[in-house]
Amino acid sequence: FEKDFYKLMNNSVFGKSMENVRNRCDIKLGNEEFSLKQAKKNNFKCFNIFDENCIASHMYKQKVKFNKPIYIGFSVLDLSKLLMYEFYYDKLKKYDTDLNLCYMET
């Protein structure tokens, strides 16, 4: 349990550092008249109708705040790729020169 817990905590820190804030949207609930007004705006994305009096309008963010440290996630991915390539070329290739690398993912 503890091993999985610490792995989950590390993955969540990594995931939040690589989060794409451009994909966020605002959702405004209203009736048909309100949703028609929202649909005329330039940041309108789409809508979902739940009821005749409850329509969810999805709106793109007008201002995006880049406050995530993506350089941390970039560094983690680069270092893990380096470790995998070092393992492949420095360890595995010593024992079998005909070994081919088909696919690798961090």
Give residue 79's domain range: 1-19+68-99
Do 25 and 58 belong together in one domain?
yes
- In total, how many domains does the chain have? 2
Query: Going residue by residue through the chain (106 aa), what tens digit of pLDDT does each one get?
Result: 788 998 898 888 888 888 889 999 999 999 999 999 999 999 999 999 999 899 999 999 999 999 988 888 899 889 999 999 999 889 888 888 888 888 877 6
Q: Is 15 within the bounds of a domain?
A: yes
Q: Is 83 within the bounds of a domain?
A: yes
Residue-level pLDDT at 102:
84
- Strands in 44-51's sheet, in edge-to-edge order, are 25-30, 54-60, 44-51
Q: Is 34 within the bounds of a domain?
A: yes
**CA proximity to 18, closest of 80, 62, 63, 61:** 80
Q: Is 106 within the bounds of a domain?
A: no
Q: Is 104 within the bounds of a domain?
A: no
